[in-house]
Amino acid sequence: MDIEETIWIIGLENALKHSGKTKTKFVLKGILSEHPEYREKIGEIKSLIDDIVGQINKLSIDQQQQKFESKSPIEIKKTTRIKEEKELPPLENVDKYKKLTFRLAPYPSGPLHIGNARMVILNDTYKKMYKAKLFLVYDDTIGSEEKIIVPEAYDLIKENLEWLGVEIDKIFYKSDRIPKFYDYCSKLLEMHKAYVCTCDADLWRTEYGRKREKIGKPCPHRNQTIEENLEHWEKMLDGTYLEKQAVVRLKTGMELKNPAVRDHVIMRIAEREHPRVGSKFRVWPLLEFSWGIDDHLLGITHILRGKDLIKEDIIESKIWKLFNWPEIEFIHYGLISFGDLKLSKTYSRQQIKKGIFIGWDDPRTWSLNSLAKRGILSESLIEIILDLGLSLTDIKFDPGRLYDLNGKKIEKTSNRYFFVDDPIELIIKKIPDIKLIAEPLIHPDFPERGTRKIELSKVNGKIKVLVSKRDLSKLNPGMLVRLKDLFNIEILDIKQPIQSKYHSKEMEIARSKKFKILHWVPTEENVPISIILDDGNVTEGFGEPYCKNIKTGEILQFERFGFVKIDKISPQIHGFFTHR
């Protein structure tokens, strides 16, 4: 099947899933996912995709369906994009809503990391499944002193969502909505369903919240009159009360079994400046209260969250009942543990500030920026997350599964190169008059891509090459080894520089006697390369001369080293290690 037919099938399928409209970027993504060999021909096929997408979007949905079904079963079967994908379970109570609405609620303390990805991917998948709306609501209220809003995080999060292929219908900022929370807090005080408490926080927890007791007991402020509460509320707003001197508590109930939800705090004073609204507000809502209000006002129909946030469900439901608002559907999923991975934006920000991390691209942050920088494809992450589904069972994340899947997706498009890290010199003596040119394949599975040419010069019957110091411990005098795609040698002395002599040319000899294979690069004609590893360390080395053809953004494979994504090529080639 030719590429034009493939574009039609993928484009029609995508349009039928998205209310009769498709876009070039989604069709291109589908093409490259199933036919990675076209990554090198993006410029050639993009105009063809643009043309076909335009034709598809002019068709009615019925016409699109007919055209899609008219494709022969053989053609559709060959197009592996048309396949049964692992689907999420259907949501409950969808019929009672004219249109479903979901929301993402990131706190802008940094870019999204791999731990946030599940929330994003699940919401986006259901949005597409039900042709629903998806809002991005920056949860940018002033929180604890440790939790700081990072101004650049607003744009970083947008970049993360774009990388994941998420389409947002509307963007909101909690910091723009503070007056609404003030209004509803005042209403709760007037309804006598909330009160201003000036107890010391530690005293309240031990004496009234009674963390270790089955029930708590009311503090003296719980029975204040409405007028007294409104007076104290005004003092919170006008600056009479300072930070930690007063909070507003919702009367959730002191008899509740869970101490964490007994008369929960919904508003508190925080006088730190906000990066968007400055010092305009000094009283800020807590997460549960702001969402109890906004999930209703924004028309959210379904809330997807981890089972660790069930406490938030209780507070939100209480608020909806107090205002006689309809309940919203909660969908919970189990937690993912990440073992030794430190997924803390606060920690990462501190490490960046200290200069220990190079930035949010540092592999140790596990931010989505860092995954993209390393060459992890967004479709690999999406597939791994969807495979987890909505199970309430807690899961341990295995990076190896992500690497295995990603490797399968990038293997075909990753050209091969020789690279020697931590290089040491190897001298080969007694070279006969033979052709000293190695011509390894650009890709062993695609000989039609051609070969790389690595030429060596003999001086006084000797040549010099660079090999990795890692190989030194595997060599012994008298050992026969093969310089990959060149010839066979005998090791004479492993003191640096390593001494050896020419043995034979034929690959068959090395194969029959199972010689160890050494990767190498010339000592003169080579290309300096530095690579940031997944542990943050940097390895330096040299690549073969053909590395001069490497392009920025290219994902390649340094043989026997691993996949690498090239970040820049000037003043020298610099890349990020992807995985083995």
Length of the chain: 580
User: What pLDDT is attached to residue 341?
Assistant: 87
User: What pLDDT is attached to residue 161?
Assistant: 98
In sequence order, the β-bridge partners of residue 345 are none
User: What pLDDT is attached to residue 1?
Assistant: 54
In terms of DSSP H, where are the helices of 110-241? 117-129, 153-163, 178-190, 201-203, 226-238
Burial class (CB in 10 A: 0-12, 13-18, 19+), 129: middle
Instruction: Give the percent of the chain with pLDDT over 90.
Output: 76
Whether residue 133 contacts residue 167, with contact meaning beta carbons closer than 8 Å, is answered with no
What are the contacts of 283-287 at 24+ separation with CB within 8 A?
283/182, 283/236, 283/237, 284/141, 284/142, 284/143, 284/178, 285/141, 285/174, 285/178, 285/181, 285/185, 286/141, 287/139, 287/141, 287/143, 287/312
Domain boundaries, the chain: 3-78, 178-285, 345-410, 415-580
Going 312 to 318 to 324 to 327, the CA torsion angle's sign is: positive
State residue 378 phi and psi, 5-degree precision.
Answer: -60, -35
Helix axes 178-190, 226-238, angle to 10 degrees: 160
Integer Cα distance of 410 and 580 in angstroms: 12
Whether residue 524 contacts residue 545, with contact meaning beta carbons closer than 8 Å, is answered with no
Residue type, 58: K
Q: What is the CATH number of domain 178-285?
A: 3.90.800.10
Residue with tokens 């999060």: 157
Q: Which residues of 467-505 are buried (b: 16+ CB within 10 A; e: fewer)?
A: bbeebeeebeeeebbbbbbbbbbbbbebeeebbbebbbe
Whether residue 107 contacts residue 139, with contact meaning beta carbons closer than 8 Å, is answered with yes
Q: Does CATH place domain 345-410 in 2.60.40? A: no
Residue with tokens 């079904």: 69
Residues in contact with 515: Cβ distance below 8 Å, sequence separation at least 6, in sequence order:
480, 481, 482, 488, 509
Whether residue 353 contacts residue 343, with contact meaning beta carbons closer than 8 Å, is answered with no
Q: How far is CA 296 from the centre of its chain?
A: 29
User: What pLDDT is attached to residue 18?
Assistant: 65
User: What pLDDT is attached to residue 78?
Assistant: 45
Integer Cα distance of 119 and 306 in angstroms: 8
User: What pLDDT is attached to residue 82?
Assistant: 37
Q: What count of other Cβ atoms lies within 10 Å of the Cβ of residue 86?
A: 9
Integer Cα distance of 544 and 415 in angstroms: 13
Residues in contact with 109: Cβ distance below 8 Å, sequence separation at least 6, in sequence order:
147, 148, 149, 150, 153, 345, 346, 349
pLDDT beneath 50: ranges in the chain: 72-75, 77-85
Q: What is the CATH number of domain 415-580?
A: 2.40.240.100
State residue 361 phi and psi, 5-degree precision.
Answer: -80, -10
Nearest of 558, 561, 560 to residue 550 by alpha carbon: 558
Using alpha carbons, list the distances in angstroms from residue 107 to 111, 333, 357, 365. 9, 20, 21, 16
